[in-house]
Structure 1
């Protein structure tokens, strides 16, 4: 999701609606191509279990996702799935690699990939036999670190602006007017004056809040190499004013993306900044019609949005590496090979990370059409900074929290960003 990454902790109604019924399984040997590798190393060691870690604890073993993943078990091999929150996976992987019991396959939120690679936790894709061709450059970028490719995106997602059509119609707001910050603020003022609630978003501490802040940050012309710039402060002032003026709930300071979505589902809010992974759920709402449009940039046009979603990777193995990598290759090929990319992405409410396959996916379901341009223009969070992104994101999160708690106080907002930049 932003993940999860995200990226993306879908709960309640959203979880039920976001997943489709179990789709066609991968081929019986767990591949979508012609490879017939087995979990046998050059020394003859045979592995009977392939261990897969994913960041989707919201999907238990009875879920469609868990059942779908099981179809990727290589022939004669048991697939053991372990799931943990995105925030925990990298730490768990560090411990497992050092202890010599790393999983065969791991799915990491894309900003964590440079960290994991730089820390020596991942096997290069060429060592494993992972096919890294055919993925969009803007979506595949985080998987290459210092010129070495480590993995491929399992899919991609991004952020947009949902609106409650009934509220906007009642309050006389024309959605076509929301093409800049001024247009959005004018709409929020009009909605509040009419007695309705404004906008929900996630400002929670950590990467999830930063993920949702980046469209405003980039939309102001700010750059991650200077988070104390005037443009960065302007973005902080925008969301701070939303709290101060009562356009957004104070809970936005601690709401994650699922919580902010749940507020929008009450039907009381005119707008919600949230992810494309909720698009299928939004299309099935019966209490009101939710429409998705691009998030506006400061001075007009669509704001640049961050790419969300996880990468599929093979951790470094110090024992029986050939056998582990052979199994990892089969599972990864099953998940993101050309025959199955759309099936896998749809299971998670994601887009396929290949332009041609994504075009087929979008054509098959009109729910995706408003998101097509956004995902193709989305930016990688680690593109400019690589492994340094993690520290910068932490500082930006601190600045965001200071701005939101300032509730519109301009001097406090500026101080928050100035101090965070020094940190």
Structure 2
């Protein structure tokens, strides 16, 4: 999902990646094969990504630039996720679109519906081998536009030291009731409860969806009784003091920082923090799936970006040829795991991900969650944007209600069916 959130977890991964041979990311095409159309050689390839936390001197920037085919150079530009779609809209309209863009997966249907993207077939992007649930957001109205650069999802981290002190067996946490009981026990023992991000906008909705789906709610009916139940759960945690009031404004990095203080028993957060969690020395942090309302693992949303080729007005064939080579370098079978590791993501191919999980035990608790994760836009396509905005408003109202049942119900019923 959202990409400022990766900044705490990925520096070590990218540095390790470079040791493993960064320059191997170049194209396998013959030397001198830079693309031409009508005799014009296109030697500059523009790549846009939503990772402004990595400046031009970063290891990530070097990794991307090493994907330049023979005879070309890559110019990389980064912008915040919230700005990238607007920037792309202007660039396509003005005829100076990048060759490759990486968009947060919920933005793909909007970009496709707005005519900003060339189809994978037109460009020649290889879309084979990606898991259906992870690749789903790249297909809109039967047309596939791009492929995931990797994937991430959400889970429940716990501070094993606090749970032991409070006499809570993590294996007992299998439902909303058992999690809430655990929160009561850890706070009674003098600790703090749980951190999560309820910030206004897509980031807060991303973190709300496991509870929303875990209650049996559907994005096609975001004001349902099940949605109200999910809102009441989190609102009640704030009201009881199990979750901080700052949950209303905390983004995922801020809520993770609270967990890192060692004062909180639990944190809802992403797989991109798994590496950082494994390296903590002050306490033992362990990950488990988020529980559904009545048991089992809650469906979690897929996060991560898609690699796409924007529409081109001039020299389209040459732009698309260059885009294909760069995209293959980033997510082809030879480099997909390296790219995913660099971002703290999972590979979006089941067999490659199995190798990734087997190579590092920190990923093992996440394997089930990523395989059962759901695309946010799969059911609604471009209509997801409006539904997400309405859910965000309802969630803010619920959290502000701090457990007031009538206010929570009113917040969600305002969405309508």
Q: Same fold (TM over 0.5)?
A: yes
Mapped to 2, the partners of 1:113 and 1:189 lie a distance apart of 41
Deviation track 1:172-210 (CA, whole Å, cap 9, x = no partner) reads 111011100000000000011111000000000110000
SS at 1:10 equivalent: helix
SS at 1:325 equivalent: helix
Match of 1:78 among 69, 73, 82: 73
Does 2:217 correspond to 1:217?
no
Mapped to 1, the partners of 2:63 and 2:86 lie a distance apart of 26
Shift of 1:239: 0.4
Q: Which residue of 1 aligns with 2:344?
A: 349
Q: Which residue of 2 aligns with 1:284?
A: 279
Q: Which residue of 1 aligns with 2:188?
A: 193
Mapped to 1, the partners of 2:51 and 2:278 lie a distance apart of 22
Q: How does 1:227-376 map to 2 (within 5 A)?
A: 227-376=222-371
SS at 1:273 equivalent: strand
Mapped to 1, the partners of 2:393 and 2:266 lie a distance apart of 25
Shift of 1:323: 1.2
Whether the 8 Å contact between 1:220 and 1:297 is mirrored in structure 2 is yes
SS at 1:350 equivalent: coil
Match of 1:10 among 6, 25, 36: 6
Mapped to 2, the partners of 1:36 and 1:229 lie a distance apart of 59
Q: Which runs of 5+ in 1 are unaligned?
A: none
Whether the 8 Å contact between 1:138 and 1:379 is mirrored in structure 2 is yes
Q: Which residue of 2 aligns with 1:24?
A: 21
Q: Which residue of 2 aligns with 1:133?
A: 128
SS at 2:265 equivalent: strand
Mapped to 2, the partners of 1:122 and 1:334 lie a distance apart of 20
* TM-score of the aligned structures, taking structure 1 as reference length: 0.95
SS at 1:316 equivalent: coil
Mapped to 2, the partners of 1:142 and 1:166 lie a distance apart of 39
Whether the 8 Å contact between 2:10 and 2:343 is mirrored in structure 1 is no
Whether the 8 Å contact between 1:26 and 1:334 is mirrored in structure 2 is no
Q: 1:223 to 1:36 in 2, by over 3 A?
A: farther
Deviation track 1:57-88 (CA, whole Å, cap 9, x = no partner) reads 11122222112111101112111110011111
Deviation track 1:139-183 (CA, whole Å, cap 9, x = no partner) reads 001111111111000000000000001100011111011100000
Mapped to 1, the partners of 2:155 and 2:253 lie a distance apart of 15
Q: Which runs of 5+ in 2 are unaligned?
A: none
Q: 1:296 to 1:35 in 2, by over 3 A?
A: farther
Mapped to 1, the partners of 2:29 and 2:369 lie a distance apart of 34
Whether the 8 Å contact between 1:156 and 1:350 is mirrored in structure 2 is yes
Whether the 8 Å contact between 1:362 and 1:372 is mirrored in structure 2 is yes
SS at 1:106 equivalent: strand
Does 2:396 correspond to 1:401?
yes
**Equivalent pairs, count:** 415
Q: How does 1:35-184 map to 2 (within 5 A)?
A: 38-184=33-179
* TM-score of the aligned structures, taking structure 2 as reference length: 0.97
Mapped to 2, the partners of 1:421 and 1:47 lie a distance apart of 51
Deviation track 1:280-324 (CA, whole Å, cap 9, x = no partner) reads 010001111100000000000100000000000000001011111
Shift of 1:42: 3.3
Whether the 8 Å contact between 2:346 and 2:353 is mirrored in structure 1 is yes
Mapped to 1, the partners of 2:298 and 2:31 lie a distance apart of 45
